[in-house]
Structure 1
């Protein structure tokens, strides 16, 4: 298996039409497949995470305080080892309003951002963050904010200080991260994967977050507002994931057999990969935002998928779409695996991902301008590797 689970783009000097490495080609095909499945799941609007400790009925929630959508976080730091969870603040009806003044400030900064001279474009307009495993907690600051231990187990990457009480302000204040670039202070998480035989956790060996244009043009695209929350997938979906099913783990990068593996687990839900391939999963997020809310009751209604013609009237703001490309240092087994979101079902259908977004505003602006708006393939530093 390669030293990195995500091969880099073509070497310098390869030119506009250079062939991308085979692993990246597989990822691109995976995005197309996952996008179709993701859109179907998104449109179902099902709640994405089953909270194991229900919210207390009859308790009136305080009125929300709008979350600032811009600003450059403080110097990197880590949260104190122990702290009392903050008082839980829940937006009325589950809708978290964006601070419109802060959002306008962020947009004004983007409009002032000048593009670097364009180089040869790559195959995809994108930039990315490569993240390492950080920690594991039964917490979910999006679905169960302020309720430690109320969720199934999650594996976190990115911001190192995340727990059930994490807020957007925390992400701006406690900025130590496992991601490259370090100007990405966001938190990303997925349900923990376990070996069925040993019941031991299998943590991610690579976690790449692409910020992409899913369309054939970048008309009207703007940066993602800081503090935006989003979820892809459905933690309550519990159906088999046999060979050929959508929403399953697959084998990359190459080896005997195909992406569904040269064999399957005894229950048929998990691929068994040959050398040098390993287990991967991809999750696709939408690219249109309503422009008014950083979160919604089911954590999906404030976002939707657009088309090449643009975004729908109810979600008019076009933003880069996140894609999670997740690698595991595992090749599959006859006993198979299970996810913390479905320990009894032993299938992959409940796989889902959460993103709580926070970037240095200037860094986000420059990447959206250079990479998405100019249709260039960029690396972790926001540069265009095809023009070096």
Structure 2
């Protein structure tokens, strides 16, 4: 696979310094250290008991971007650039964490004094600049943002806020991914733990679950599936945009980090619009080619790639966003990418505004918690069994399925918001939209993959697959997310709305 050609322009905000470099090279792949605390669960409350000698596995920083609101439009480019710089700081701190294990073992204050303390100082400087930029643009910055500067170390355990496939209590088919020893070397001479022989920071055995061990219908939907009542809009509109046959990949994020090269720190698959990178303007998107069969759909649909960690050196094996940041192995394109728009249970939908931006899921759910998580994993033939925080092990003849059902309530005014979330909302329990919001066509993305089933044995996993992630998120399945920018022609969007409201199935 080849890299897409990027435009190179002056960024809208501070240029982000390249994140983490490769930590070690061995066995034909880039090796990232991964360390997990010894832990066990006691009782239904999932109370954690940790080994006193457990080492920190990753870095947990408050997500400043999620706390921002009321950022004036003319300050958003600069603020997004500052937030991207904070992401790079976390990446660099995680690199430092992963390469100093011997020093950490000899000094219990090493992580705090040499990694977390300096990181807090750097984050506070950026928060101060964000506050200044908001106030200069006529806004009123939260004076208490400094409380978000400090970070902490975290053992690599999945968030337990009742998610575990929504209370299903599954534990990865009885495999305990914590405390297993790998046989890699870290740069300061320490012995790696828990890389499971895959040469990357996760996934581990406990990130997988046999689909037979997932309870049917155990994951309650928060996403407002297609309407099934007489009062709703029951039609559908399907758009066929292929499976990225043009090999359009990059590690940018045009929504969250416009103007910042490698703003995602992980690689995205793109279908639809063919002019997707951090420097694409709305005009660029409107004039671009599209991979969609209906040429009126120039929307951009993108998601983090899946990789099979089989030792393959991809085109980005030495690049930022790819192997240099722990995203290693063979990129897996979906065998099918199904993009469908559906209606609302309570009534008609209205047209999406052009250039509406929606992010669903949270790329930082492992450290942020599951408040914005919206990952859904399953297997063909078993799609009544959905899991959010495990990768499914599918039986022979069954394929892995990733599903994303987007927020479908719009505030009626904004195509984006300061935290890229507040202008959109999920439907309420009755299927209707919150006060002040109106229903728009709901995008549902279903990706189907042919993936050899990993072997989980003796607490280790061989040839695992994993979603690309920020390095410190350790490739956890709960970090899966999906992104969309509406660039449909007005006539096509009107057709989408007409089909859905009239109960037709169109494409």
Please say if 1:169 is aligned against 2:299.
Answer: no
Partners of 1:93 and 1:276 in 2: CA distance: 57
Per the alignment, residue 401 of structure 2 pairs with 280
Q: Normalising by structure 2, report the TM-score.
A: 0.46
Alignment map for 1:262-341 (pairs within 5 Å): 269-307=390-428, 308=430, 310-315=432-437, 317-334=438-455, 335=462, 336-341=464-469
For each residue in 1:149-172, what CA deviation from the matched residue of structure 2 results, as whole angstroms up to 9, or x when unmatched?
A: 222221111111111112222111
The residue number in structure 2 matching 1:227 is 355
* Residue matched to 2:197: none
Mapped partners of 1:359, 1:281: distance in 2: 24
Aligned equivalents of 1:91, 1:376: Cα separation in 2? 47
SS at structure 2 position matched to 1:160? coil
Task: After TM superposition, give the deviation of residue 232 of structure 1 in Å.
Answer: 0.5
Query: Aligned residue for 1:154?
Result: 268
Aligned to 2:286, the other structure's residue is in SS state helix
1:182 Cα deviation from its structure 2 partner: 2.1
Q: Scaled by the length of structure 1, what TM-score is found?
A: 0.59
Q: Please tell me whether residue 356 in structure 1 is matched to residue 477 in structure 2.
A: no
Give the Cα–Cα distance (whole angstroms) in 2 for the partners of residues 290 and 250 of structure 1: 32
Bigger relative contact order, structure 1 or 2 (CA pairs below 8 A, ≥6 apart): 1
Aligned 8 A contact 1:284 1:323 in 2: yes
Q: Contact (CA 8 Å) 1:93, 1:297: kept in 2 or not?
A: no
Where do residues 1-388 of structure 1 align in structure 2 (5 Å cutoff)?
46=66, 51=84, 52-53=87-88, 57=126, 58=129, 124-131=234-241, 132-133=243-244, 134=246, 135-152=248-265, 153-174=267-288, 176-198=289-311, 199-215=329-345, 217-219=346-348, 221-238=349-366, 247-252=375-380, 254=381, 269-307=390-428, 308=430, 310-315=432-437, 317-334=438-455, 335=462, 336-342=464-470, 345-369=474-498, 371-378=499-506, 380=507
For structure 1, list consecutive stretches of 5 or more residues without a partner in the other structure.
1-44, 64-89, 95-122, 240-244, 262-267, 381-388
User: Aligned pair in 2 of structure 1 residues 365, 348: CA closer, same or farther (>3 Å)?
Assistant: same
Question: What displacement does 1:212 show?
Answer: 0.7
Q: Distance in 2 between matches of 1:151 and 1:278?
A: 27
**Structure 2 residue runs without a partner (length 5+):** 1-64, 68-79, 90-122, 142-232, 312-328, 368-372, 456-461
C-alpha separation in 2, matches of 1:311 and 1:258: 25
Residue in structure 2 matched with residue 26 of structure 1 by the alignment: none
The CA deviation at 1:296 is 0.8
**For residues 91 and 125 of structure 1, what CA distance do their matches in structure 2 show?**
44
After superposition, the C-alpha distances for 1:216-250 in whole angstroms (9 at most, x for unaligned) are x433x2111101000000111128xxxxx983421
Structure 1 residue 310: Cα displacement: 3.7
Distance 1:91 1:360, change over 3 A: farther
Following superposition, the deviation at residue 62 of structure 1 comes to 10
Query: 1:141·1:166 contact (CA, 8 Å) conserved in 2?
Result: yes
Would you say how many aligned residue pairs link Structure 1 and Structure 2? 262
Asked if the contact 2:342/2:441 (under 8 Å) is kept, the reply is: yes
Distance in 2, Cα, partners of 1:202 & 1:322: 23
Deviations 1:10-36 (A, max 9, x none): xxxxxxxxxxxxxxxxxxxxxxxxxxx
* Contact 2:303–2:482 (Cα < 8 Å) also in 1: yes
CA displacement, residues 173-224 of structure 1 (integer Å, 9 cap, x when unaligned): 11x1122322110111111211133222212222222111141x433x2111
User: Residue 146 and residue 346 in structure 1: after superposition, are their counterparts in 2 closer, same or farther (change >3 A)?
Assistant: closer
The 1-side partners of 2:332 and 2:264 are apart by 18
> In structure 2, do the counterparts of structure 1 residues 276 and 260 end up closer, same or farther at CA, with 3 Å as the change threshold?
farther
CA RMSD of aligned residues (A): 3.5
Please tell me whether the aligned partners of residues 264 and 470 of structure 2 are also in contact (alpha carbons under 8 angstroms): no
Structure-2 residue corresponding to 1:117: none
User: What's the CA shift for 1:139?
Assistant: 0.4
